[in-house]
Amino acid sequence: MNKAAILGGGLCGSLLAVILARRGIGIDLLDRLPDPRVKGSSGGRSINLAMSARGLHALQYADILGVIEPLLVPMRGRFVHVDDGSTEFHAYGQFDDELIYSVSRAALNRALIDSADRFSNVQVRFQQEAIAYDPERATLKIRDHSVDEEHTLSAQPLLAADGAGSIVRRAYNGSDRIHTTEDLLAHGYKELSISAGPGGAFRLKSDALHIWPRGGFMLIALPNPGGDFTLTLFLPNEGPQSFSALENDKDVADFFAKHFPDVVDLIDDLTGTWASNPTGILGSVHTQPWHDSGDMLLLGDAAHAILPFHGQGMNLAFEDCVVLDEAIVAVITETANMTPGELRSEHWDEIFRRYEARQMGNANAIATMAQENYIEMRDTVRQPKHQLQKDLAFELERRLPQRFIPRYSMVMFHADIPYQAAQQRGNIQQELLECWTEHANSLDDIDLETAEAEAKEHLPPLPATG
Ligand SMILES: Cc1cc2nc3c(=O)[nH]c(=O)nc-3n(C[C@H](O)[C@H](O)[C@H](O)COP(=O)(O)OP(=O)(O)OC[C@H]3O[C@@H](n4cnc5c(N)ncnc54)[C@H](O)[C@@H]3O)c2cc1C
């Protein structure tokens, strides 16, 4: 039986291994790091992540949602800490099941690897670092750190889920087969924490994502199951209010006391953690195409790293796994008497084409929406018209549930509405909302019957929503 190699046992690679193993495909899953189940997490990017409908759908598709559910902490909305000291709660959605979930990256990754490892047709190997990829021969050069040896791996096909800095993708730099742009944001991030109170009590409201929007920068906090919070400060790298301007402990302490006075005293060893935690870089990756014949496919961040401001990078990577599997099923179904283990290079080429045709527009759409959401999170949530437009959008969703769903809700709660459709409909809706609220201060100032009629005129019904 043919075996596929998955490079990268991160979030995308390990879920992909589960899904393809269930399909009956033999998998060699390789990661450069030691087994996180043995060694513990080595830390790194973002301690916790927001999981929403697309991620949950993929876990259900893989039949492992039950394993992951105990790791999830529900968040109902944004708890906004305004700079005048007041606070506001903004629900993400308007229906009881419209929640997103905070999850520890390390715990999630461990559970996914464990799930993959239970399949007899999956071989999980750690400390296997790809140090080169040869696109001509479709071979990976692997350094096996467990025995300090190098060997060559020939995979049919290679599914590269080796993250934003993908060595496989970079092997195509300068070639005309795969084109990539890597854009760095002029803002970085730093992670801090708030420990649980006595008896594991949360010291901030537990079922919310906390946000301190400050215009050019923001602080956010996500709850963890143990009662602690992970904080992330997003800040320009250069300029008057920037990482480079915070040169010493006093600068850091003064900056937090000035901009985040209601939380500064809760932060664990602010200046010590500031000094010891790295400043993370933020960026996005655009690649086209994502595959090289039937030999190689890029998935997850390796294909399309996006900014984290819509909480969708992992959700998109999980959706990739489902879309790829659906393309495999389609090709197998059309090819009589074939089993998944018999897929050959020409079949994989067809699978990769179909996968790309369905998913590339979606990845581009959420990349743009993630950029826009940064401005909304750090700034727009503070503007009065923002809340009025949100209230109006909810009102229209109640009146026209098959036509008008707020863009945020389409992205976060409706896995069956493609990102691209959410973006297109969202743009139309935003224009309408701005027009209807231009001279209004409250919902009472808006002619809702006219708004409803205009929404019907501009927005075709959604095929189906769930
Ligand atoms: C600050 C921040 C906050 C975020 N918040 C969210 C959020 O709230 N919600 C959300 O959905 N997404 C979020 N994301 C995005 C999310 O982290 C990524 O989209 C997701 O991790 C992508 O998964 P991946 O498996 O493609 O890549 P990764 O998680 O990066 O995994 C890549 C794997 O490949 C391995 N690897 C790399 N190179 C090699 C090599 N040469 N040889 C062998 N193995 C290799 C690595 O060890 C790793 O295990 C956030 C990102 C950041 C930076």
Query: What is the tens place of the pLDDT at every residue in 95-130?
Result: 999 999 999 999 999 999 999 999 999 999 999 999
pLDDT for 47 equals 80
Return the sign of the alpha-carbon dihedral for residues 168, 172, 178, 182.
positive
Q: CB of 237 within 8 A of CB of 248?
A: no
**Cβ–Cβ < 8 Å for 416, 464:** yes
Residue 463 DSSP one-character state: S
pLDDT at 40 over 60: no
For residue 281, the CA-to-ligand 1 centroid distance in Å is 13
Cβ atoms of 139 and 154 closer than 8 Å: yes
pLDDT digits (tens, 9 = 90+) for 188-216: 999 999 999 999 999 999 999 999 999 88
Rounded Cα distance, 383 and 336, in Å: 59
The pLDDT, as a whole number, for residue 321 is 98
pLDDT reported for residue 139: 97
| 49, 125, 374: residue to mutate for ligand 1 pocket, most atoms within 8 A of CB | 49
- Atom 51 (ligand 1): residue with closest C-alpha? 308
Residue 447, pLDDT above cutoff 80: yes
Ligand 1 within 6 A of CB of 129: yes
pLDDT at residue number 104: 92
Q: Which residues pair with 89 in a beta bridge?
A: 79
Task: Give the position of tokens 């071979």.
Answer: 139
The whole-number pLDDT of residue 384 equals 74
Q: Is the CB–ligand 1 distance for residue 52 below 6 Å?
A: no
Tokens representing residue 462 in the block: 């959604």
Distance 202 CA to ligand 1 centre (A): 28
- Is the beta carbon of 50 within 6 A of some atom in ligand 1? yes
Q: What is the pLDDT of residue 385?
A: 87
pLDDT tens digits for range 290-315: 999 999 999 999 999 999 999 999 99
374-377 long-range contacts, Cβ below 8 Å, gap at least 24? 374/187, 374/234, 374/307, 374/309, 377/211, 377/213, 377/218, 377/220, 377/309
Average pLDDT on 257-277 reads 97
Closest CA to 4 of 179, 138, 106, 108: 138
**Shortest CA distance to 115 belongs to which of 199, 21, 255, 209?**
21
Does 312 sit in the ligand 1 pocket, CB within 6 Å? yes
3-state secondary structure of 221: strand
Summarize the confidence of residues 400-406 as an average pLDDT.
Answer: 97
Dihedral (Cα; 441, 443, 447, 451), 10-degree rounding: 110
* Burial category of 371 from C-beta neighbours within 10 Å (exposed 0-12, middle 13-18, buried 19 and up): middle
Q: Enter the tokens of residue 390.
A: 């949100």
Average pLDDT in the chain: 94
Smallest CA separation from ligand 1 atom 39, residue: 162
- Give the residue, out of 46, 168, 211, 234, with the most ligand 1 atoms within 8 A of its beta carbon, to mutate for a pocket test: 46
Q: How far apart are CA 167 and CA 33, in angstroms?
A: 15
From the CA of 154, how far away is ligand 1's center (Å)? 24
- Residue 382's pLDDT band, with cuts at 50, 70 and 90, is low
pTM of the predicted structure, to 2 decimals: 0.96
Do the strands 280-288 and 291-292 form a parallel or antiparallel pair, or are they unpaired?
A: unpaired
Q: What is the pLDDT of residue 170?
A: 98
- Average of pLDDT values for 49-59? 98
E strand intervals along 238-391: 280-288, 291-292, 296-298
Of all residues in the chain, the percent with pLDDT exceeding 70 is 96
Q: Name the residue type at position 334.
A: E
Q: In this predicted model, what pLDDT tens digit does every residue of 154-199 receive, in sequence order?
A: 988 999 999 999 999 999 999 999 999 999 999 999 999 999 999 9
DSSP state of 279: P
Q: Residue 381: which pLDDT band, with cuts at 50, 70 and 90? A: low
Structure-token pair, residue 325: 């599997």
Are 385 and 436 contacting, i.e. CB atoms less than 8 angstroms apart? Answer: no
Mean pLDDT for the stretch of residues 86-102: 94
The angle formed by the CA atoms of residues 110, 224 and 367, to the nearest 5 degrees, is 75
Residue 466 has pLDDT above 70, yes or no: no
pLDDT at site 387: 86
pLDDT band (50, 70, 90) for residue 46: low
Confidence of residue 44 (pLDDT cuts 50, 70, 90): very low
